[in-house]
């Protein structure tokens, strides 16, 4: 397994702005030992000029960092009603992915109608050797394990898969352990990791379709009482996963990006050796 650092580590609460430049983030990641960066529109997206996209790729390559995945717009991470719109015109996202030297795009799906558009997008992406994936996420067709498997089977494309993210599954009271990973195994394209503790007095409140509003508090990856990462990696080992494991958490409420990137790397290396 290879460790990737999401540029989300330095995003502000808007998810549209960053406290750090891509140069700063890549230098931080490379110095720590990450092998890749996970790209989001807060750095570059389909809205970015060609020269900016080119500069980002050159910067990553100069430090031997890959781009593990791209999230090409703001609606997808904001998880709003416009999130699935990219499926209706996937071409700009494919162009961005190729320009960044990546081969994986994160998309969003919320309603039944999105399934046929996901099929069409996957078909176009397949012609260019690019994969498409949906994250385990609240308020989406991928809230539950059973729902995720159903959509994956109905889209039925070899280049369409899932980004396993145990924290969102936990918010929806879903099992995220070994058996779930075995079910996801044929479709598993990426792994996102973040951590929290669910508790009634939690300061963060997130709406889910299946559980209503779930109060919780974000914590560091290495903190106990939240996601059971030993179980997560037991499952990943059981299915022979050897792809990217991405530090995806927004740490702004807990610590600075520099500390978050380093501490998360040190904690995860025990599992990824």
Pick the residue with more confidence: 177 or 17?
177
* pLDDT for position 14: 75
In whole angstroms, give the CA distance from residue 32 to residue 27. Answer: 9
Pick the residue with more confidence: 191 or 13?
191
Tokens 């430090």 belong to residue:
63
Tell me the average pLDDT across 4-27. 90
In whole angstroms, give the CA distance from residue 98 to residue 73. Answer: 16
pLDDT band at residue 15 using 50, 70 and 90 as cut-offs? confident
Q: Average pLDDT, whole number, for the chain?
A: 95
For the stretch 230-257, pLDDT in tens is 999 999 999 999 999 999 887 677 888 9
Angle subtended by helix axes 229-238 and 257-272, to nearest 10: 50
* pLDDT for position 226: 95
In whole angstroms, give the CA distance from residue 178 to residue 245. Answer: 16
Sign of the Cα pseudo-torsion (133, 136, 141, 147, in order): positive
For the stretch 83-117, pLDDT in tens is 999 999 999 999 999 999 999 999 999 999 999 99
Mention every residue, 6+ apart, whose C-beta is less than 8 A from residue 273.
none
Backbone angles phi, psi at 190, to 5 degrees: -160, 160
Strand bridging mode 188-193 / 196-198:
unpaired
Give the three-state DSSP class for 46. coil
Tokens 């994160």 belong to residue:
106
Percent of the chain at pLDDT > 70 equals: 99
From 82, 104, 85, 109, select the one nearest 94 (Cα to Cα). Answer: 104
Whole-model pTM: value is 0.95
What is the number of domains present in the chain?
A: 1
In whole angstroms, give the CA distance from residue 192 to residue 135. Answer: 8
Tell me the average pLDDT across 170-175. 96
Question: What six digits make up the tokens of 249?
Answer: 């958490």
Tell me the average pLDDT across 257-265. 93
Element of type H or E holding 214: strand 212-218
Percent of the chain at pLDDT > 90 equals: 91
* pLDDT for position 254: 81
* pLDDT for position 13: 76
Tell me the average pLDDT across 201-215. 93
> 197 pairs with which residues across the strands?
217
Residue 115 belongs to domain spanning:
2-272
> 246 pairs with which residues across the strands?
4, 192
* pLDDT for position 16: 86
* pLDDT for position 253: 73
Looking at residue 7, the DSSP 8-state letter turns out to be G
Tell me the average pLDDT across 65-92. 96
* pLDDT for position 251: 66
Tell me the average pLDDT across 30-42. 96
* pLDDT for position 234: 96
Pick the residue with more confidence: 255 or 28?
28
Tell me the average pLDDT across 6-27. 89
Q: What is the CATH number of the domain that holds 71?
A: 3.20.20.150
Instruction: Compute the C-alpha angle 202/174/68, nearest 5°.
Output: 90
């Amino acid at each position: 397994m290879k460790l990737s650092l999401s540029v989300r580590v330095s995003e502000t609460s808007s998810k549209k702005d960053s406290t750090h430049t891509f140069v700063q983030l890549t230098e931080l990641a490379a110095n720590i030992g990450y092998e890749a960066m996970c790209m989001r529109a807060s750095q570059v997206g389909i809205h970015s000029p060609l020269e900016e996209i080119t500069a980002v790729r050159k910067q990553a390559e100069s430090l031997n960092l890959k781009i593990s995945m791209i999230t090409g717009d703001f609606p997808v991470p904001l998880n709003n009603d416009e999130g699935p719109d990219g499926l209706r015109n996937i071409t700009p996202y494919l162009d961005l992915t190729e320009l960044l030297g990546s081969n994986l795009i994160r998309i969003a799906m919320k309603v039944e109608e999105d399934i046929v558009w996901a099929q069409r997008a996957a078909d176009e992406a397949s012609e260019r050797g690019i994969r498409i994936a949906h994250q385990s996420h609240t308020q989406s067709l991928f809230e539950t394990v059973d729902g995720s498997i159903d959509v994956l089977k109905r889209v039925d494309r070899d280049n369409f898969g899932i980004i396993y993210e145990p924290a969102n599954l936990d918010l929806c009271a879903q099992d995220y352990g070994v058996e779930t990973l075995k079910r996801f195994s044929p479709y598993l394209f990426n792994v996102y990791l973040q951590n929290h503790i669910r508790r009634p007095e939690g300061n963060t409140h997130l709406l889910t379709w299946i559980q209503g509003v779930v109060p919780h508090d974000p914590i560091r990856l290495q903190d106990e009482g939240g996601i059971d990462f030993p179980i997560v990696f037991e499952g990943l080992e059981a299915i022979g996963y050897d792809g990217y494991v991405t530090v995806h958490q927004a740490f702004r409420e807990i610590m600075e990006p520099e500390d978050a990137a380093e501490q998360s790397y040190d904690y995860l290396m025990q599992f990824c050796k």
